[in-house]
Amino acid sequence: MQVLLIKDVPGIGKAGQTKNVADGHARNYLLPRGLAVLATQNVLKQAEALKLAAAKRDAETLQEAQLLANTLNAVKLDFQVKAGTNDRLFGAITAADIASRLEKEHGINIDKRKIELDHPIKDLGQRGVPIKLHPEVTAHVQVMIERESE
């Protein structure tokens, strides 16, 4: 029996694929659980239209992410913080700090979860901080941390 998978089914295929499965498996497992529908001409046309729309949306999202990455790659953030004698900060610079500074100084709204800091920054100096905008696009913002003038 020819079915169109609505959800990913381990061992059979991914959502949107058309598969030929045993009649009993389709009637007793896939169809009642809403994992698949019978692959009629109308359903296949509808699925193809959804795939085209999703591909178009993905292309637009990728293009927007690349434009934002170009903007972010030129950004340099300066932080003036209190530090001890070993150039260790008394506090730390977190992803939330970087996100709020991007919003305040450059008007760029970035979710702090997209900023890929393994751990908060606790040392003086300059470093590139990666920001994952899209699965295929990562921007790098230069962060300069300097000692606060006394």
CATH number at residue 50: 3.40.5.10
pLDDT in tens, 27-75: 999 999 999 999 899 988 988 888 888 889 999 999 999 999 999 999 9
Q: What band does 149 get if pLDDT is binned at 50, 70 and 90?
A: confident
The reply to whether 31 and 89 lie within a common domain is no
Q: What band does 16 get if pLDDT is binned at 50, 70 and 90?
A: confident
The reply to whether 73 and 56 lie within a common domain is no
pLDDT in tens, 119-141: 999 999 999 999 999 999 999 99
Domain containing residue 14? 2-62
Among 62, 92, 107, the domain boundary falls at: 62
What's the number of domains the chain is made of?
A: 2
The reply to whether 25 and 55 lie within a common domain is yes
pLDDT value at position 150?
63
Among 62, 97, 112, the domain boundary falls at: 62
Q: Is the pLDDT of residue 89 over 80?
A: yes
pTM: 0.71
The reply to whether 125 and 54 lie within a common domain is no
Q: What is the DSSP string of 27-41?
A: IIIITTTTSEEE--H
